[in-house]
A and B are shown apart, each in its own frame.
Chain A
Amino acid sequence: MARKIYIYLKYILLFAKYSFIRSASFKFDFLARFLMDFFYYAVSLAVILIIYSKTENINGWEKPHFLLLLAVFFTIDSFQMTFLSTNAWNINHLINTGKLDYFIIKPISSFFFTFFQTVESSSLINFLFVIPFCCYVFYLNNFTVPDFLMFKFVSVLGAIVFFCLRILIAIANFWSESPFGLERVWLSLTDFMKLPKDFIPSTLRFIFLTFLPVLFVASIPAEILITFSIELILSLIFITIILIHITRKAWELGLLRYTSASS
């Protein structure tokens, strides 16, 4: 097992190296992508800061708490933009053109190779913004060492949930005839990840906690950091395990469904 992990980590380093070389060839693309992520975070932050300049409390959520939610979301989003986003976006093209064939016949896990072959170095630079922001939020929330460890723990689980949901949306392309259709729905759903769960009406909240558990990406992790609720921690772990299994199964089913362009 340890050897397998070591080999896959070596692959990721290799993918990162090639991605850096590619990024160096397209300097404007590199800069534009970095600015795109930066503006995405800046706009989300600006909205919340403007609202909190007028009020101290929104439905029980004070400014440091809301910023904590954004810190969790930005951290997770930076990871997914770096390691997953481009790969998940490309899968529709791979399926429709039959280029997925080349990924399936490689002597490594087709799932791993499809979803982690490109590392976006420009998005990696987002951490230059995200890390200082997180430090500021930790300071505002008087974080102690256990709080920080818990932040790391729930962020990892939230990231896994995000990765699984994003991959499931990408896998749906095996069945869907809509190019980029579900991706746009997914992008609009990410707005709900930045809202506390109490902000969402009960019926919709139920859907977002069960069938489409987008609230487990950042909202529940942020609430765990505020309340340290054991129930929420257990539910986050449970959802993460379930989603990992569903994602693996969905990929296998997707591959069974896949007919290459030439067949």
Chain B
Amino acid sequence: MLLFALLEIQRQLAYPKNFIVRLTLPVFFKVLAVHLLWKVIVNSGAEWIDSNNILKYSVLAPVFYLLLRPEPAFIMREVYDGTIQRYFTYPKNFFAIIFFRHIGYLLTRVLEFLLMLLITLYFFNHTLSLNNFLWFLILGSVASINLFLIFASLELITLTLEEGWSLSLILDRLIFLCSGVIMPLHFFPEQFQTFLYFTPFPYLVYLPVSAFLEGISIEKGIKCFVAGLAWMVIFIFTSSFLYKIGRERFTAYGT
């Protein structure tokens, strides 16, 4: 399985210029756009926000999501060109293969993520406590696996239906808003916030990043962890179900 991760790292880094243009620059511009919007709001003298925290959040939240989400079309590109069939014949579990490929992809981005983390700590003069960091690690890991599972579930739909690209962009936009990538969820109207906590969205970005920046009580941390795990179980069942159905209906060249 580690071989799949290594192969993915090799594939990603085979063309370094391509890697920078395809993956690093878009993240940089997206983070910059979000950060500039909040910087101007802070400079306008807004009293309704904690200016230092929102500036840190406006960098960390988009970085966290954009660097830890799976590579766009990581399953569907193989569905469309039919190469996904090879995994059906391997004597290994399909999900284990794509998960380790995803781990390989994440490893290529960890350096960028750590760099952005250090920049945030340095430029915003953030003092990080061990407690906050540990909660961030715990909730962030669960969020990262959930991001993998939620996108995998969605991309596995393409085994059954012809369209997946638009659906993944819809999900991307929903996560941007409802997971707090563009703005922290506590700015949302109360009722909408309450509703959101019944969905997986807050556990994907907002809570891990908030735990890192502001800390989180043990009770709330455990609640978030359990909720994240519950969503993980739901996504595992959903993706397995979609894979099972999709595999029966999937047709490709030569099948």
Q: Which residues 167-201 of B sit at the A interface, judged by CB distance below 8 A?
A: 167, 169-170, 173-174, 176-177, 182-183, 187-189
Query: Is B21 in contact with A50, judged by CB distance below 8 angstroms?
Result: no
Which residues of B lie under 8 Å from residue A54 when comparing CB positions? Answer: 46, 48-49, 187
Distance between A40 CB and nearest chain B CB, rounded to angstroms: 6
| B17-46 contact mask (Cβ, 8 Å, vs A): 1 or 0 | 110011101111110111011001101101
Determine whether the beta carbon of B166 is less than 8 Å from that of A51. no
Which single member of A47, A57, A189 contacts B177 (CB below 8 Å)? Answer: A47
CB nearest to B25 among chain A residues:
A185
Assess whether A39 is in contact with B36, with CB atoms less than 8 Å apart.
no
Distance of A177 Cα from B16 Cα, bound (Å): 12
- Distance of A28 Cα from B158 Cα, bound (Å): 12
| A182→B41 contact, CB < 8 A | no
Q: Is the CB of B22 within 8 A of A181?
A: yes
> In whole angstroms, what is the CA distance A160 to B11 when docked?
38
Cβ of A188 within 8 Å of any chain B Cβ, yes or no, is yes
- Distance between B93 CB and nearest chain A CB, rounded to angstroms: 29
Using Cβ atoms and an 8 Å threshold, which residues of chain B touch A187?
Answer: 26
Residues of B contacting A29 in the complex (Cβ-Cβ under 8 angstroms): 162-163, 166
**Choice from A36, A178, A189, A191 contacting B21 with Cβ under 8 Å:** A178
Q: Is the beta-carbon distance between B25 and A36 smaller than 8 angstroms? A: no
Closest to B171 in A: A39
Residue of A nearest to B34 (CB): A191
For A177, list chain B residues within 8 Å (CB): 15, 18
Please tell me which stretch of A126-134, A193-201, A241-249 contacts chain B, meaning at least 4 of its Cβ atoms lie within 8 angstroms of it: A193-201
The answer to the question of B161 belonging to the interface, with a C-beta cut-off of 8 Å to chain A, is yes
Residues of A within 8 A of B21 (CB): 176, 178, 181-182, 184-185
Q: Are B163 and A46 in contact (CB under 8 A)?
A: no
Residue from the list A39, A40, A59, A195 in contact with B33, Cβ < 8 A: A195
Among B23, B34, B40, B161, chain A packs the most CB atoms within 10 A around the CB of: B40
A53 to B188, CA, bound (A): 10
Interfacial chain B residues near A200, Cβ < 8 Å: 36
In contact, B18 and A181 (Cβ under 8 angstroms): yes
A51 to chain B, nearest CB (A): 7
Residues of chain A with a CB closer than 8 A to B182's CB: 43, 47
**Residues of chain A within 8 A of B17, CB atoms compared:** 178
CB-CB under 8 A from B27, the residues of chain A are 188
Given contacts A58-B40, A191-B29, contact A28 B161 (CB under 8 A): yes
Whether B183 lies near A47 (C-beta < 8 A) is: yes
Interface size (B, Cβ < 8 Å)? 40
Residues of A within 8 A of B161 (CB): 28
A188 and B25 within 8 A (CB): yes
Is residue A35 within 8 Å, beta carbon to beta carbon, of the partner chain? yes
* CB-based nearest A residue for B43: A59
B residues less than 8 Å from A42 (CB atoms): 173
Q: How far, in whole Å, are A36 and B170 apart by their CA atoms in the complex?
A: 5
> Beyond A50-B183, A184-B22, A188-B29, is A195–B36 a contact (Cβ under 8 Å)?
yes
User: Do A55 and B48 touch (CB < 8 A)?
Assistant: yes
Q: Are A39 and B170 in contact (CB under 8 A)?
A: yes
Q: Take A28-B163, A39-B170, A184-B26 as given contacts and tell me if A55 and B33 are in contact as well, using a CB distance cutoff of 8 Å.
A: no
User: In the bound complex, what is the Cα–Cα distance between A177 and B28 (angstroms)?
Assistant: 21
Please give me the residue from chain A that is nearest to B167 by CB atom.
A32
Interface residues of A in 149-204 (CB under 8 A from B): 176-178, 180-182, 184-185, 187-189, 191-192, 195, 198-201, 204
Are B36 and A199 interface neighbours, CB within 8 A?
Answer: yes
Which A residues touch B177, using CB under 8 A?
43, 46-47
**CB of A26 within 8 A of chain B?**
yes
Task: Please measure, in the bound complex, the distance between the C-alpha atom of A59 and the C-alpha atom of B38, giving whole angstroms.
Answer: 11
A-B contact pairs, 23 of them (CB 8 A): A28-B161, A36-B169, A36-B173, A39-B170, A39-B174, A47-B183, A50-B187, A50-B188, A59-B41, A178-B15, A178-B22, A182-B21, A184-B22, A184-B25, A185-B21, A185-B26, A188-B25, A188-B26, A188-B30, A188-B33, A191-B33, A199-B37, A199-B40
Q: Which 8 pairs, one residue from A and one from B, show the smallest C-beta to C-beta distance?
A: A191-B33, A32-B166, A188-B29, A36-B166, A181-B22, A188-B26, A181-B21, A29-B163
Residues of A whose CB lies within 8 Å of any CB of B are 26, 28-29, 32-33, 35-36, 39-40, 42-43, 46-47, 50-51, 53-55, 57-59, 176-178, 180-182, 184-185, 187-189, 191-192, 195, 198-201, 204
Known: A36-B167, A182-B21, A191-B30. 12 other contacts (CB 8 A): A33-B163, A33-B166, A35-B166, A35-B170, A50-B187, A50-B188, A55-B44, A59-B40, A181-B18, A184-B26, A185-B21, A192-B33
